[in-house]
Every structure is written in C-alpha cells, then in structure tokens.
Chain A
Amino acid sequence: MDDLYRELIIDRYKNPQYRGSLDPHDIAFEDDNPLCGDHIKIELRVDPDHHVSEAAFDGHGCAISQASADLLLESIQGKSLDEVKALTKQDVLDMLGLELGPVRLKCALLSLKVLKAGVYGLGEASDELVE
C-alpha cells in the first residue's frame, strides 16, 4: 500500500499538471472503465510534422487512473505520433513505478487506452490496445 500510494501518485492526483482542455485540438478521445466508472478524456494538439505539441486530460476516477493520465501526458510531450502508438502497458507501469493486480491495472491503463484509440483514430477503445 505504501508503494501504491507513494508521494508521486498522491501528488499527481492532487496537483495534476496536465488537467484541462484544449480548444481547438487535433485529436480527442474519451472512454470509461465500466468496472468502477473512471472516466478519462484526452485532447491533443499535433504540429505539422506529427509531433505532440500540447496535451490535456479531464475526467474523474481513482488516484491511480488520474495520476497515470497526468504522467502519461507528460511523457508524450514532443513525441511523434508513431512513438505514442508504440507505448505499452509496461511504459505506464514504469512511469507509475508500480506492479498492479488485474483490477487496478484497468485503472492505470485507461489513459493509455484512450490516448492510443485517439491517435489511431479508432471509433472505440479496446483492451487490445494496451495488452
């Protein structure tokens, strides 16, 4: 538990750096975690050579889901869309510095799922995006 709720997670949950919205934006996507009602919406601005210039998220949910969204958006600043597409489950766990059981994994990976569905331009987010 000490690990799960260490400083980084609580800090990012209480003082997120990337919470907000971008208007206009180039990419937007949102989805829920039906198990617990976590909700994440991500908006991106992309520069002409397909790099992320700005990113913001909004939503509600547990500390893990919201902190992981914040850390994820920090990590993709300036990254190319191809690099974003290549992000994996392990990348998110490394950012959080956590090992998680199957239920909390869904909380942690919701933001990556939303991000990748948006970047791929998909109609809906699937768990396969983060496996």
Chain B
Amino acid sequence: MINQSELLDIQRVRADFPILAREVHPGVPLIYLDSTATSQKPEMVIQAMDRYYRQTNANIHRGIHVLAEESTAGYEAARVKVAGFIHAPSARQVIFTRNATEAINLVAYSWGRAFLSHGDVVLLTEMEHHSNLVPWQILAAEKKLRLEFIPVTEDGLLDLGVYHSLLELQPKLVAFTHMSNVLGTINPAKEIIRLAHQAGALALVDGAQSVPHFAVDVTDLDVDFLAFSAHKMCGPTGIGVLYGRKELLEAMPPFLGGGDMIKKVLLRSFAPNELPHKFEAGTPAIAEAIGFGAAIDFLQSVGIEKIALHEQQIVAYALERLEEVPGVKVFGPSAEYRGGVTAFTLTGIHPHDISQILDEQGIAVRAGHHCAQPLHDKFGIPATARASFYLYNTNDEVDKLVEAIYEVKHIFRD
C-alpha cells in the first residue's frame, strides 16, 4: 500500500511546466510521452537561464569584474549541485561535457587511447544506445580491440550467466547502460560493477536514462565512470556530465585542448590544468550549467524517490492497458524490472504511421530505432513506437494513448 505522503502532487508538478498548457493543434492539448528523448523544462529552469542572460552574462574563471565573478560562482555552484545529486565524493570529479554521448567519447578518446592496446577486450551489451557503442567501435578499429557483448534475453533482461563467462576473457572495461532507452530494463548495475571489478575490469555506466528517473549514488555503486545529460532531467540541452573516479581522471591525458584546460602554455608544450578544468577546454555552456543547477534544485524539491515511485506506478498501468489492445506487442521486461518506457509494435502498421496518427490527437511519441539499431535487429523488427513517462505524466494520458491506438487500428481497417 502506498503511503499518501509518498505520492506526487501531480497537478502542482504539471503547473510548473509551461509547455504542458499549450495546444498542439486547435483545441488539442499536448500529451507529451517522449521524455526518454528529452524532458520538458520547468519554469524555474527557464527563469534561471533567462536571469543569467539578463543580469550576469560574462565569461567565467579569468574575469575580475562582478559579472565574471557571479557567472563563475553560478557555474561552479551547479557543479556542486550535480555532485551532491549523484553523491560524488568531490565536485572536482564532475566534468561538464556537451551531453552523455560526449562524456562517453571523452573516456574512449582519453582513457581508452592511453590505457588500451591491441587485443584488449571491451565488454558492452546488446541493449546499448549508439552513444555507448559507436565510440568503442571507433576505438576498437584504431587500437585493434576486441568488443564483446552481454546478450539480451527474450524478455529484455541482460543474460548475467553469459556475463560471468565473458568475464573470463579478462576485459579491461565493462560499459553498459543503467536503463535501456527502448526496453526500459533497469540493469542490476551494482552487481555488474562488483563482478567487473572482481575480474579486474573498470566499469562505465551510461546513466542517461537512470539519473533523471531514480536515485543514483556513485559511491554506493562504486562505479568508475558515469555519463548523463541535463536535458533528460528537466535541464537544458547542450550540457552533460562525466563523473569519474579521481585517480583515473588524474591519470588520463586531456581530451580537447584549448583555453581553461591548461595550467601553463609554452610555444611547444603545455601543462594541463587540475580537475575538473583539465577536461573542459574552451568557453563552456555557462547558462546551461546554471539551468542544470536549477533543474537539480527542482528535482530535489519534488523528491527523486517520489518521481521513481510515480513512474513505476504509471509504467505498470501503461503495460496493463497496452497489452489489452489486440495486435500490440510491448518489448521488454515486466514492470518490476522496468523504468518508464514502453516501446511497442502494432501488427501490420508501421510505427511511423502510428506516431503520425497519434500526433493528430496531440500525443507525442517517438517512432524509429531510438538509436539502438542492433537491439531492434536482435528482436527482428526495424522500428518501434515508444511512449515514455516522467514526473508530469498521468494515467489519464495513458488512457488517451490507448484510445488513440484504437483509432490507428480503425484507420488501417484492422
């Protein structure tokens, strides 16, 4: 039985998101079921960025004037908020990148190039987003690495039995998604990391879908690298995070060269700056960092545990409703292993057509392979339609989705 105090005040949450008040067609309100692609932004994030540009805009770190000092303070305060949110031991271990993709590329290009060599094994999974697959393919081609994959079972879980035997190959790195952006599967990250460490491997977690939706504690997970993006957690686009273990980040060579990442520059050489600046070359996304900080304040004011609980409830309801529609097949595990994602097909009707007809009802879902083409190949389907949920979605919206799917079937004379 759920305690009332653990529930979100959904109407109050929705009122914080101005976009939820708009109509997408005349008289048709928005039903936004595409938060796995990007979340909507609450008023306080929009205002924080607006205020920054109106009142404090200046470049950070080397200015002595008031605006530069305020900007720097705002930018660095955001880093401290992020560190607190993921329980990082120090804000110096939080590196701002463009997004989760760039964070993973940073590890591949800096750590991978320096510490991997011919024949080394990098262990991934079959459910990775392209962002945790292609950087390793690029590096594997360059360094002649061997990529191996933890398989996905028919019901959308990682096959941990096979994982055990793959660890006998003594991989140098196990890089995996905390939560699949297609199947919704929440992987047992702590256990996967523990086994990786036992086998002598480092562990990188793609947290793009986990950090926004449930509590992620890097210290408890004992993870070596964690990557995530602000825009999927109520923050702006253009900023993401790489968290790393301090001794690893210190041993890694710089990624991009330029301003701010240096301590000293001579004509023919340079000495890199300290963490985290060593990995932040050039003027960063300052307004976005400040907006990101506001997003974390917002999520903490609502409560990440309440958000997780709300999504668990809504995805269980969505699975129940979707599975009662003849012809609908939802991919992925049962609700207990799943975050707020439902990717589905409808017999004889392409997901693009589903998405288009839903759009006429104001319902925003995504259609395609969701940057996880090998996973779709595995299930023998070119594409799925995906409805995903966040703190502002309601069961009523799930009902409207199901009604609209019946309308799709009607149009296709099914």
Contacts and interface: CB of A to CB of B under 8 A. Distances in A.
Interface residues of B, number: 19
A60 interface: yes
Contacts of B376: 37
A39 B382 contact: yes
B199 interface: no
A105 interface: no
Given A10-B411, A36-B367, A107 B352 contact: yes
Interface in A59-109: 60-65, 104, 107
A53 B90 CA distance: 72
A10 B373 CA distance: 27
B353 interface: yes
Nearest to B384: A37
Nearest to B369: A37
Contact of A64 (B352, B368, B413): B352
Contacts of A8: none
A120 interface: no
B357 interface: yes
B350 A63 contact: yes
Contact of B357 (A5, A14, A38): A5
Interface in B369-414: 369, 373, 376, 382-383, 411-413
A116 B367 CA distance: 27
B360 interface: yes
B360 A61 contact: no
Contacts of A107: 352
A27 interface: no
Q: Tell me if A's interface is mostly helix, strand, loop or mixed.
A: mixed
Nearest to A66: B350
Contacts of A61: 350, 352, 382
Nearest to B407: A1
Contacts of A10: 411-413
B356 interface: yes
Contacts of B368: 35-37
Interface in B311-357: 348-353, 356-357
A5 B353 contact: yes
A4 interface: yes
Given A5-B411, A61-B382, A104 B356 contact: yes
B244 to A, nearest CB: 32
A3 B373 CA distance: 31
A90 B218 CA distance: 55
Contacts of A39: 382
Interface residues of A, number: 18
Contacts of A65: 350, 352
Contacts of A1: 356-357, 360, 411
Contact of A37 (B348, B360, B382, B411): B382
A107 B356 CA distance: 12
Given A36-B383, A37-B368, A4 B356 contact: yes
Contacts of B412: 5, 10, 14, 63
B381 to A, nearest CB: 9
A61 B412 CA distance: 15
Interface in B269-298: none
Contacts of A104: 352, 356
Contacts of B369: 36-37
Interface in A1-57: 1, 4-5, 10, 14, 35-39
Query: Which of B360, B373, B376, B382 counts the most A-chain CB atoms under 10 A from its CB?
Result: B382
A37 B383 contact: yes
Interface of B: 348-353, 356-357, 360, 367-369, 373, 376, 382-383, 411-413
Interface of A: 1, 4-5, 10, 14, 35-39, 60-65, 104, 107
Given A14-B412, A38-B382, 10 more contacts: A1-B357, A4-B356, A10-B411, A37-B368, A37-B376, A37-B382, A62-B352, A62-B353, A64-B352, A107-B352
Q: Which 10 A-B pairs have the closest CB atoms?
A: A62-B352, A62-B350, A37-B382, A1-B360, A36-B368, A37-B383, A62-B353, A63-B353, A5-B411, A36-B352
24 contacts: A1-B356, A1-B357, A1-B360, A5-B353, A5-B411, A10-B413, A14-B348, A36-B367, A36-B383, A37-B368, A38-B382, A60-B350, A61-B350, A61-B352, A61-B382, A62-B350, A62-B351, A62-B352, A62-B353, A62-B356, A63-B353, A64-B352, A65-B350, A107-B352
